[in-house]
Amino acid sequence: MGTKTMPFRTGVSFAGLLTGVSFAAVLLTGVSSAHAQAAPTKLTIGIYTPTVEFGTAQARLAYAQGLAKAVEQNTGIKTDAQVYASVAALKKDKVEYAIIDGPCYATNLGWKLLANANIGGSTSRPWALFSSAGDSMQSLKGKKLAFVAMGCNDNGFVDNAMLESEVDPTFFGSRNPEKDLTAALASVTSYKTAQAVFAPVGSAKGLTKVFDTGSVPNPAFVEVDNTLPAAVTQKVAAAVVGYGGNGAINGWSSPSRDVYAGFASRLGAVKKSGLFASPEPVRIDAKDVLIDPPTIKETAYVAVRHHFVRPPGSRME
């Protein structure tokens, strides 16, 4: 019986079939890539900055709208602004870009950083503990502490970043969370519902500074949606860095993650322990043992050297 062979279709080679398949795969890949990188028809910039003194929600929104307009002019894409009351709400809405508070970006470093906010000529501000009840920590024992509840590791912010893990959580009588810095300051200066507050230096008018707590990074402008075309994000970043605007944020600088990564390391608890230094050895000459102390004058005492016996014919080591 002869061996049967399977003939190819007339006019079509096996190499041609492979070439056709490869071309189709490349074509599909190109279509998929183009679809993934398609420019959006609309952008939304969210803003959540409770530690920045905008004063009112309207002022905060007005600033974000001004920045959104600058982005729209540079990209040609319609851009809106939206104010959020929490990071969770901002994430839920799946905005493309966001102005996010510094401590909150420190806990969300996976977002791409596009710019650092400038306030007072710097990308971070010194903070301190302020009081209406005295100028020492002991005067605040059992008193109420107000703080900005950011929802971004608040316990780590208060206990570790601000108090450097050195104050017991029960030291203050209670901790009063406030929605933003303006409300936190008012709870001490106006409403008297608390006697101490953490705030940027220079913002707590009429209160006594108890001690400095270190610097806190200013807000960050970030890309939340990482599927956006790189060209669009580059134009957005350029518009933000070039935006001056009016409001609590004076301007923007080129991105630098160091200030946020450094602050993130301060949010963890620090366990401190004393250091034991090795004592310097005291060396005593063996001959000193054979010298009678000058203070021993009692004749009834046996001389020190009489306690040593040299065996006959032996060497004393």
Tell me the average pLDDT across 255-269: 97
Instruction: Give the CA distances from residue 119 to residues 12, 87, 170, 200, 246, in Å, rounded to whole numbers and listed in that order.
Output: 70, 21, 34, 11, 11
Sheet with 112-118, strands from edge to edge, namely 78-83, 42-48, 97-100, 220-223, 112-118, 251-253
Q: What share of the chain is helix, strand, coil (3-state, %, to 5)?
A: 35, 20, 45
CA dist., res. 171 & res. 150, Å (int): 22
pLDDT of residue 30 exceeding 70, the answer is: no
Predicted local confidence at residue 198, as pLDDT: 98
Within the chain, which residue ranges are assigned CATH 3.40.190.10?
Answer: 42-123+219-266, 125-214
What would the mean pLDDT of 199-226 be, rounded to a whole number? 97
**The pLDDT value given to residue 35:** 46
pLDDT at 129: 98
Confidence of residue 244 (pLDDT cuts 50, 70, 90): confident
Lowest mean pLDDT among 66-70, 263-267, 282-286: 282-286
Kindly indicate whether the domain formed by 125-214 is annotated with CATH number 3.40.190.10: yes
Predicted local confidence at residue 234, as pLDDT: 98
CATH 2.120.10.30 for domain 42-123+219-266, yes or no, is no
Mean pLDDT of 255-262: 97
Residue 15 has pLDDT above 70, yes or no: no
Query: Which of the four pLDDT bands, split at 50, 70 and 90, describes residue 14?
Result: very low
Query: Position 146: which residue type?
Result: A
Over range 95-106, report the average pLDDT: 98
